[in-house]
């Protein structure tokens, strides 16, 4: 009998406390409306979410309470890696060795980066390029403790890696966002720039769906300052959820200029699950390199009308494409019944399919539409070692044609393969440079004519001109990728 009045009084106390809290929120909202010209109650709905409280887009007064909560889950990553001294100088066409072959020296260097815990037992995310070729990985937590970490798995295609930190099972963890961030919303980047751990910077989402670096992920662009060492660290929204992993910056100087790129949270979650399960990411593979079709390339291909699709630029040996009879110059118009809108779309869709999947491709093959069935292979894992056995040879003088403005040399003379000619010199104002060719590019064929010697290139151009065409389509290998370039011949 005596419990009921007490329970009633308690309920009244909670109601009173709720009334006071509601009043304080109302006062805060009123103050914000008064201090924000043009703000109204409709604006309020856009930044308040009943499920989580104030929405991540809510105008912040300060980030200090949020930082206190999320910063302990962010770590510094230190990896001892093997690399070549002056790797940049061993690329074809740059700083080439007078001996005819570069001989870079291997050395051990320390790579600094960032990361964050995704499970309390020590699983942590970072970027692949921070720990690539690692010999030893260490993780430094926010309280200054250093732990040894092992690599669980890595995916170079998305620049993500999963670590297992040894020596603890109660690490603080982050929450991953379950939505794409909105352009203009507040974000915080926390990481280890220049080895200065626990650094917090703030900014906004500048843009979304940036197709840079890899076709397997669209990047979020942010203007929160990030620098060398921030790679692998998280970008948080104002609710403390990770919206992305910092991976790259655009910078003419090497420092932050307010253009940074983060791998989106949905990509991070998907790759983390696959790395945890298998230590690697298995992707479907056809064995083709493709390129979007410009009007000039369409004309060079002899297409009668504008065509949506992608043109095949290269066929990998012993690939499903080889077995299916696909050839360079074929146009892929659809995959599994869906149009192939551009090269990124096609590559990603194939990569999302398990190896062994059978898919239908619609092609324009030798100006005839056809349908073929291809059984997907498994995308080969790319090499992670620096340098290449084919890099670094001194170019000698080859066929120099002033009208085109380029100097050519047979690729086999430079140890760069059995076919093709290498651009050893280029006139900036020449036709070749204006078409987009660069020193070090390898011209594989022109309008279907293979290249062995410099004169083959110019003979092929003359043949195209004799046919009354304005465009010669050259197939170019550059930086281990192959593409078509439309070269005017008149």
- pLDDT tens for each residue of 324-366: 899 888 899 888 888 887 788 888 888 888 899 999 999 988 8
Lowest average pLDDT, out of 64-68, 99-103, 163-167, goes to 99-103
The CA distances from residue 233 to 117, 240, 296, 345, in Å, are: 10, 14, 42, 27
Q: Is 314 helix (H, G, I), strand (E, B) or coil?
A: strand
What distance in Å separates the CA atoms of residue 383 and residue 361, rounded to the nearest whole number? Answer: 29
Of 174 and 432, more confident: 174
Within-domain flag for 55? no
Lowest average pLDDT, out of 42-51, 126-135, 187-196, goes to 42-51
pLDDT at position 381: 66
Mean pLDDT confidence for 189-205: 90
Mean pLDDT confidence for 233-251: 89
Within-domain flag for 389? no
Beta bridge partners of 368: 365
272/305 same-domain check:
no
235/350 same-domain check:
no
Beta bridge partners of 484: 475
- How many C-beta atoms surround the C-beta of residue 68 within 10 A? 9
Which helix (H) or strand (E) segment holds residue 358: the answer is strand 358-365
Which helix (H) or strand (E) segment holds residue 435: the answer is helix 431-435
| pLDDT band, residue 103 (cuts 50/70/90) | very low
- E runs forming strands in 250-337: 260-264, 284-285, 288-292, 310-315, 331-335
Phi/psi region, residue 366 (left: phi>0; alpha: psi -120 to 50; beta: rest), is: left
pLDDT at position 245: 94
User: Six-digit token pair at 201?
Assistant: 């910077």
Question: CATH number for the domain including 253?
Answer: 2.40.10.120
447/352 same-domain check:
no
What distance in Å separates the CA atoms of residue 345 and residue 287, rounded to the nearest whole number? Answer: 15
| pLDDT band, residue 478 (cuts 50/70/90) | confident
Within-domain flag for 230? yes
| pLDDT band, residue 58 (cuts 50/70/90) | low
Phi, psi of 473 (to 5 degrees): -100, 110
Q: Which residue reads 């078409």 in tokens?
A: 435
What distance in Å separates the CA atoms of residue 160 and residue 154, rounded to the nearest whole number? Answer: 6
355/227 same-domain check:
no
Within-domain flag for 385? no
The CA distances from residue 297 to 63, 347, 465, 473, in Å, are: 52, 20, 16, 7
Mean pLDDT confidence for 418-430: 78
What's the number of domains the chain is made of? 4
Cβ atoms 457, 399 nearer than 8 A: yes
Over residues 32-45, the pLDDT tens digits come to 444 444 444 444 44
236/111 same-domain check:
yes
DSSP 354: P
Per the structure, the complete domain to which residue 16 belongs is given by 3-46
118/176 same-domain check:
yes
Within-domain flag for 143? yes
pLDDT at position 201: 93
116/265 same-domain check:
yes
Domain finish residue from 281, 305, 326: 281
pLDDT at position 300: 79
267/139 same-domain check:
yes
Over residues 363-404, the pLDDT tens digits come to 988 888 899 999 999 887 654 332 222 222 223 333 334 567
Over residues 267-312, the pLDDT tens digits come to 999 999 999 998 988 899 898 888 888 887 887 787 766 567 888 8
Q: Tell me what percent of the residues of the chain surpass a pLDDT of 70.
A: 73
| pLDDT band, residue 126 (cuts 50/70/90) | very high
211/127 same-domain check:
yes
What distance in Å separates the CA atoms of residue 129 and residue 111, rounded to the nearest whole number? Answer: 9
266/293 same-domain check:
no
Question: CATH number for the domain including 475?
Answer: 2.30.42.10
Residues in the chain: 490
468/443 same-domain check:
yes
Within-domain flag for 142? yes
Strands 175-176 and 241-249: parallel
Over residues 433-445, the pLDDT tens digits come to 888 888 888 999 8
Over residues 303-312, the pLDDT tens digits come to 766 567 888 8
User: Six-digit token pair at 487?
Assistant: 């070269």
Catalytic residue set:
129, 159, 231
Cβ atoms 190, 71 nearer than 8 A: yes
Per 3-state DSSP, the chain is made up of helix, strand and coil in percentages (nearest 5) of 25, 35, 40
What distance in Å separates the CA atoms of residue 49 and residue 347, rounded to the nearest whole number? Answer: 37
Q: Tell me what percent of the residues of the chain surpass a pLDDT of 90.
A: 26
Q: Is the pLDDT at 471 greater than 70, yes or no?
A: yes
Mean pLDDT confidence for 407-420: 77
Within-domain flag for 390? no
pLDDT at position 379: 84
Q: Is the pLDDT at 2 greater than 50, yes or no?
A: no
In sign, the C-alpha dihedral spanning 4, 9, 13, 16 is positive
The CA distances from residue 321 to 288, 325, 357, in Å, are: 7, 6, 14
Report CA dihedral (10, 15, 20, 24) to the nearest 10 degrees: 130
291/432 same-domain check:
no
- pLDDT averaged over the chain? 76
Question: Computed over its alpha carbons, how large is the radius of gyration of the chain?
Answer: 28
Within-domain flag for 52? no
pTM score over 0.95? no
Over residues 451-469, the pLDDT tens digits come to 888 888 888 888 887 777 7
Q: Is the pLDDT at 141 greater than 90, yes or no?
A: yes
pLDDT at position 40: 46
Domain finish residue from 281, 312, 327: 281
């Amino acid at each position: 009998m005596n419990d009921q009045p007490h329970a009633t009084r308690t309920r009244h106390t909670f109601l009173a406390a709720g009334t006071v809290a509601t009043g304080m929120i109302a006062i805060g909202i009123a103050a914000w409306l008064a201090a924000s010209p043009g703000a109204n109650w409709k604006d309020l709905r856009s930044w308040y979410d009943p499920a989580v409280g104030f929405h991540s887009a809510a105008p912040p007064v300060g980030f200090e309470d949020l930082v206190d909560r999320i910063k302990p889950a962010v770590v510094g990553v230190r990896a001892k890696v093997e690399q070549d001294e002056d790797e940049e100088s061993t690329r074809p066409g740059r700083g080439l060795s007078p001996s005819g072959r570069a001989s870079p020296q291997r050395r051990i260097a320390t790579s600094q980066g960032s990361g964050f815990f995704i499970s309390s037992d020590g699983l942590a995310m970072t970027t692949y390029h921070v720990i690539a070729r690692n010999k030893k990985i260490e993780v430094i937590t926010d309280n200054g403790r250093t732990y040894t970490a092992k690599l669980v798995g890595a995916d170079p295609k998305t620049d993500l890696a999963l670590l297992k930190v040894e020596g603890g099972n109660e690490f603080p963890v982050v929450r991953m966002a379950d939505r794409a961030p909105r352009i203009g919303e507040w974000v915080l980047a926390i990481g280890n720039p220049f080895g200065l751990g626990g650094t917090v910077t703030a900014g906004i989402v500048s843009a979304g769906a940036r197709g840079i670096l890899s076709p397997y992920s669209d990047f979020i662009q942010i203007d929160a300052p990030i620098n060398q060492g921030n790679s692998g660290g998280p970008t948080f929204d104002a609710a403390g959820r990770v919206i992305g992993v910092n991976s790259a910056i655009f910078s003419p100087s090497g420092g932050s200029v307010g253009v940074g790129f983060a791998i989106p949270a949905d990509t991070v979650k998907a790759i983390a699950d696959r790395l945890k399960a298998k230590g690697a990411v298995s992707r479907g593979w056809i064995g083709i390199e493709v390129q979007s079709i410009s009007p000039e390339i369409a004309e060079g291909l002899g297409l009668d009308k504008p065509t949506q699709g992608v043109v095949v630029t290269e066929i990998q040996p012993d690939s499903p494409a080889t077995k299916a009879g696909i050839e360079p110059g074929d146009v892929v118009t659809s995959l599994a019944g869906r149009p192939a809108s551009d090269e990124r779309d096609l590559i990603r869709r194939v990569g999302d399919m398990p190896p062994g999947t059978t898919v239908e491709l619609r092609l324009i093959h030798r100006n005839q539409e056809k349908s073929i069935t291809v059984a997907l292979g498994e995308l080969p894992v790319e090499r992670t070692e620096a340098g290449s056995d084919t890099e670094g040879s001194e170019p000698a003088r080859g066929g120099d044609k002033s009208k085109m403005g380029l100097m050519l040399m047979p690729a086999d003379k430079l140890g760069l393969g059995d076919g093709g000619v290498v651009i050893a010199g280029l006139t900036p104002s020449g036709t070749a440079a204006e078409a987009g060719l660069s020193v070090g590019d390898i011209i594989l064929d022109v309008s279907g004519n293979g290249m062995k010697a410099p004169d083959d290139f110019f003979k092929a151009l003359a043949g195209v001109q004799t046919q009354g065409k304005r465009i010669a389509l050259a197939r170019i290998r550059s930086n281990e990728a192959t593409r078509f370039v439309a070269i005017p011949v008149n």
